[in-house]
Structure 1
Amino acid sequence: MCIAVFLWQAHPLYPFLLLLNRDEYHSRPTKPLGWWEGGEILGGKDELAGGTWLGCTRDGKIAFITNVREVTSIPQAKSRGDLTLRFLESNKNPKEYAEELSKEADQYNGFNLILADITSKSMVYLTNRPKPENFIVMEVTPGMHVLSNASLDSPWPKAQRLGHGFKDLLEKYGEAELPTKEMAEILMTNTIKDDESMLPGIYPSEREHQLSSIFIEADTPLGRYGTRSTCALSVKSSGEVNFYERYLDEDQWKEHTMSCQIKKMEVHG
């Protein structure tokens, strides 16, 4: 289902910084972080449906997605991971892509989608919930934001825990360079769960209790489910991109970091 915390246009060295956990069934085939064919898109790959939960491009586009927690689902719905991929492959800016997507948002199960263009300092948030016909598109304001499985910045307890921890680390390091890998290790491995009284009340309480931690480990009737990877994606003002991933590969945790340079960083007065 995923959870993410990110900083947008609010740090002197980093126009963008993201920490994200991807939660998925362990049996779902996945490729770890890498360059896609053509060498323009960097991200992991869902080998079942072909999309991605998080990716960036050499020209400064970034996209990531989380599912909306809901009881019912659409039979034969389109894959939500395709929404991020199509933006990264397109020549459209975030607002143009959002306008295009509004015409087909009802063909997907509930999603929260963040689209950004670093070079033009543009970021939008899109969701097709609470109602598919009322597609929501809004500009993301500079600052810190948390995205879980409800709307952007919803005060779910685990989202609040993540936000508070992220803010504490930002205050600790001030305007200095940020140790993004260490930040991910500290914040995204948290297994604290909520009391039953704090749960959203969408799923049965036992299931929701399993999902109430930032880092998830759960046994379900459909198999093992939980956090499959943790990512830290940072973009410096110079255009330097660093993408760290810690991922589960056949029950073994592995990690790697990849870097690139955004081709053109526009200067805005």
Structure 2
Amino acid sequence: MCIAVFVWQSHPLYPFLLFLNRDEYHNRATEPLRWWEDGETVGGRDLAGGGTWLGCTRHGRIAFLTNFKETSSFPDAKSRGDLPLRYLQSRKSPTEFAEEIQEEVSMYNGFNLVVAHVLSKSMVYITNRPRHGDKDKLVTQVSPGIHVLSNDSLDSPWPKYLRLREGFKRLLSNNEGGEFPVKAMVEEVMTDTVKDQEPELPHVFTPETEYQISSIFVDLLIPAGRFGTRSISALSIKTHGEVCFYERHLEQGDSWKEHTEHFVIPNRSIV
């Protein structure tokens, strides 16, 4: 299941730095990282639903999404990938966007959505599966620091959450506020296949399925087809506005391809 780790407004060089594994069926039609037709937005696209799981704009809008782990879903629900797409193409602040969609969140299967604008230093977490069913907690301001988002609420301490957070913190501390080693993070942490033992599992699905998806990097064969990590993304924004969007994605034939887009948020510093 998808997992992301990010640091927000607490690093001397990176106001925002994110790593995200997208887990999906291998046969689901997907377009890898590229600039979209509007010339303003960059990210991958889910061609089945038309939306995205992670995107960024030239002017500092960011949105990323994970599904909420649950045993049932509504077949006629709206596509969750449309939510980050709508934010990226809007002119609303993160808080305004969160307010706009609150009345319609029940029309989607379970989701976790983070939307941000680096120029205004604003980031919110939106979910339609709040802890303890508390409807007042659909929207939360994200505090500065390191956060992990998987398939439960933001910062839920599942074992693979803890492994990902510790691996990220280790590389951050090893580089003491300097350039972050993106490739090392991808190769050493985001591809980690260590799995949890039965007592540590969340016990939402069957024990065998839970075991197979308990690693940071997922790869398994189930009756519906091969499922697992289709892409590994890294999105960094530096204090002077330089953006680097890296993606390693799986193509047909089990080959991995890398692609990177660079640009600068225009006209102003983001600190």
Instruction: Verify same fold: TM over 0.5.
Output: yes
**Aligned runs of 1:106-255 on 2, under 5 Å?**
106-130=106-130, 131=133, 136-250=138-252, 251-255=254-258
TM-fit CA distance, 1:75: 2.6
When residues 33 and 167 of structure 1 are mapped into structure 2, their CA distance, relative to the original with a 3 A threshold, is: same
Question: What is the rounded CA distance, in whole Å, between the counterparts of 2:32 and 2:53 in structure 1?
Answer: 11
SS in 1 for 2:185: helix
1:105 matched to 2:71: no
Q: Which residue does 1:64 correspond to in 2?
A: 64
User: What fraction of aligned residue pairs are identical, expressed as a percent?
Assistant: 59
TM-score by length of 2: 0.96
Q: Give structure 1 regions of 4+ aligned residues with deviation exceeding 3 angstroms.
A: 130-135, 264-268
SS class of match (2:125): strand
- 1:196 to 1:73, Cα distance in 2 relative to 1, 3 A: same
CA–CA distance in structure 2, aligned partners of residues 94 and 26 of structure 1: 32
Alignment match, 2:259:
256
Deviation at 1:267, TM superposition (A): 5.9
Q: Show structure 2 runs of 5+ residues with no match.
A: none
Give the count of matched residue pairs: 268
CA apart distance, 1:260 = 1.0
Deviation digits for residues 163-189 of structure 1, max 9, x if unmatched?
A: 011111111001111122322222100
Give a deviation string over 1:177-227, Cα, whole Å, max 9, x none.
112232222210000000011000100110110110000001011000000
Q: How high is the TM-score relative to the length of structure 1?
A: 0.97
Q: CA RMSD in A?
A: 1.3
- Counterpart CA distance in 1 for 2:111 and 2:267 is 30
- 3-state DSSP class of the match of 2:32? strand
Which amino acid counterpart does residue 257 of structure 1 have in structure 2? T
Question: Which runs of 5 or more structure 1 residues have no equivalent in the other structure?
Answer: none
1:55 corresponds to: 55
Structure-1 separation of matches of 2:183 and 2:83: 27
Residues 230 and 237 from structure 1, CA distance in 2 versus in 1: closer, same or farther, beyond 3 angstroms?
same
